[in-house]
Amino acid sequence: MMMENETMNLAVKRAAEMAAVFMIGDGLLGVLQPKRHVKLWRSDVTAVDLLVRPFHKHPTRRRLYGVLQASAGVLLASALKR
């Protein structure tokens, strides 16, 4: 039973680490290339487009969000202990 809990705990930590890596990378792209990044993610699928629409024609807003996003990813990764 102990081994199952340790394996599950490790899997959860790895998933959280992957989320942190995504947050950091997506945040940095939003900071460095906000117009290109938002244009890439515009979509005919309403649910997807709703996520990026607030940043369309607002590169500074996307940059600020990118800083927050990358910072949150670093905090998440820092909170993970093995």
The predicted-structure confidence for 51-63, as pLDDT tens digits, reads as follows 999 999 999 999 9
Taking the domains of the chain in order of start, what are their residue ranges? 2-79
SS3 at position 70: helix
As a whole number of angstroms, the distance between CA 39 and CA 52 comes to 9
Residue 72 neighbours by CB under 8 Å, 6+ apart: 23, 27
Q: What is the pTM of this model?
A: 0.86
Q: Which stretches in the chain have pLDDT values below 50? A: none
pLDDT at 82 (0 to 100): 63
Helix (H) or strand (E) holding 20: helix 2-32
